[in-house]
Amino acid sequence: MKRILAIVLAMVLALGLMAGCGDSSNGNDASAPAADNGASASDAPADDGAASSDKVIKIGVFEPITGENGGGGFQEVLGVRYANQVVPTVDIGGETYSIELVEVDNKSDKTEAVTAAQSLMSSGVAVVLGSYGSGVSIAAGEIFAENQIPAIGCSCTNPQVTLGNDFYFRVCFLDPFQGTVMANYASQEGATKAAVITQLGDDYSSGLGNFFLKAFKELGGEIVAEEQFQTNQTDFKAILTNIKAAEPDVIFAPSSIATAPLLIKQARELGITAKIMAGDTWENATIIENAGEDAEGIVISTFFDENDSANTTAADFVKGFKEFLNATPDYLSKNGGDGVAAVSALGYDAYMAAIEAIKAADSTDPVAIRDALKTVELNGVTGSITFDENGDANKDMAFIKTVEGGEFKFLKTVTISE
């Protein structure tokens, strides 16, 4: 009897282990079948030439679906999936290749990111899109460079992502720019004292915080408090109490979507009335949903505004993307309604940039695609995109938004010429 019980117990535990690996093996499952014919995609002409008329080129999607950035990462994936639905094929050398997305989950974690990137490499993708979050992109950057696969970042804004990496490109603006924009905005609004809250060990958060700090000081402002918190921390009362004592006019707190509502609510609970500002990550409906009334008045900078009617590409995208979202209830609920997030637009632009490069290279060879990327000119949803010598998009405009009446309202655009 006891033995039977022990066996049952062991089986239950083993099951638990398998459930645990479920997420990572999902990623592997997705790439496993890809690995079989993946080899044929990278050196396509060698084999299966006669047998298959449907040629496939693989595009890797390197995004966090789980972990602290899971929400925003999924919105970016949605942008890519929509783009894939709009343009499912590409012509190379007179032949039509269908495009297959290979999605992996980097779990918002630098260690997992390396594993995820490696599994993408072994599945034989020609180009990689992603990621949301700079830390994971920096961690995986080397692997892409070693394997000579070009990567196009969607919303990783830290300069380190593309710096010194010939294979990393990106379609968004950078943190030095974003930090300057927010510092300018704060000082235009009459703020002279600012507090900065950053996440320890997170490249995006500490990078953006620093750039804001530098720019704000240059504008003659004073930084009255600098606080840090740890990943997955949920209690910000102690640092917020210190900030309250310093009496800042504005609080700049670039952080993840998961952190934002906690921070906002706890600040208001402690009676802090200062304006709370953050970077592009906070443009997510779940923040308003979770923070409720307390979210009113927060200010963010972002890449894109869905009501911007000047750009016809953007207007078409918004219309199509909303239909795409409404067609699948699961997408709609995970997106938090049918609002169009800037990261979805960037995911779409990154995909289109990849397609343009593949067309220009007229080849499935990753290095040729990389070389073609340097010359790509794309009229994207988030503005026209060309890449500079670092692989960064030449962008000089940011959108400032605020929360009013339970939704994001466009405030103004800020242009800074460097």
Partner 1 sequence: MSFTTFIQHCLTGISLGGAYALIAVGYTMVYGILRLINFAHGDIFMMAGYFMIFAMVSLPWAVAIPVVIIATVILGVAIERVAYKPLRTAPRMSIMISAIGVSYLLQNLATYLFTALPKAYPTIPLLKKIFQIGDISASLVTFITPVLTIALVIGLVMMINHTKIGMAMRAVSKDFETSQLMGIKINTVISMTFIIGSALAAVGSILYFTDRMSVTPFSGTLPGLKCFVAAVLGGIGSIPGAVVGGFIIGICETALVALGYSTFSDAFTFVLLIIMLLFKPTGLFGEKIIDKV
- How far apart are the C-alpha atoms of 313 and 348, rounded to whole Å? 11
- Candidates 74, 59, 32, 46; CA nearest to 336 is 74
CB atoms within 10 A of CB 417: 4
Restricting to residues 164-203, name those near partner 1 by CB under 8 A: 200
> Of the ranges 84-92, 203-211, 221-229, 338-346, which one interacts with partner 1 (CB under 8 A)?
221-229
Among 45, 94, 271, 405, binds partner 1 (CB under 8 A): 271
User: Counting contacts by CB under 8 A, is residue 6 touching partner 1?
Assistant: yes
Residue 194 has φ and ψ, to the nearest 5°, of -125, 150
Pairwise CA distance, residues 67 & 412, whole Å: 32
User: Taking the alpha carbons of 142, 148, 154, 157 in that order, is the dihedral positive or negative?
Assistant: positive
84 binds partner 1 (CB under 8 A): no
* Residues 212 and 182: beta-carbon distance below 8 Å: yes
Interface residue with partner 1 among 96, 188, 242, 307 (CB under 8 A) is 242
CB of 193 vs partner 1, minimal distance in Å: 16
280 and 395 in contact (C-beta within 8 Å)? no
Measured from the CB atom, the residue of 21 and 87 that comes closer to partner 1 is 21
CB of 87 to partner 1, least distance (A): 29
306 backbone dihedrals φ, ψ, rounded to 5°: -70, -20
| Binding segment toward partner 1, per CB under 8 A, in 208-216, 265-273, 302-310, 342-350 | 265-273
User: Is 329 near partner 1 (CB under 8 A)?
Assistant: no
Q: Give the range of 64-72, 85-93, 309-317, 380-388 binding partner 1 by CB under 8 A.
A: 64-72
Residue 100 in contact with residue 59, Cβ under 8 Å? yes
Minimum CB separation of residue 318 from partner 1 in Å reads: 25
Tell me, by CB under 8 A, how many residues bind partner 1. Answer: 45
For residues 148 and 366, is the Cβ–Cβ distance under 8 A?
yes
The stretch among 258-266, 275-283, 323-331, 381-389 that binds partner 1 (CB under 8 A) is 258-266
**DSSP-based three-state secondary structure for 156:** coil
Q: Which of 36, 269, 377, 388 binds partner 1 (CB under 8 A)?
A: 269
In the stretch 98-117, what mask flags binding to partner 1 with x, by CB under 8 A?
---------x----------
Q: Which spans in 51-152 are helix H? A: 70-86, 110-122, 134-146
Count Cα neighbours of 292 within 13 Å in the Cβ-side half-sphere.
5
User: Which alpha helices (DSSP H) does 43-98 contain, by range?
Assistant: 70-86
The site for partner 1 (CB under 8 A) is made up of: 2, 5-6, 9, 12-13, 15-17, 19-20, 22-23, 66-68, 70-71, 107, 200, 227-230, 232, 234-235, 237-239, 241-242, 244-245, 258, 261-262, 265, 269-271, 286, 289-290, 292
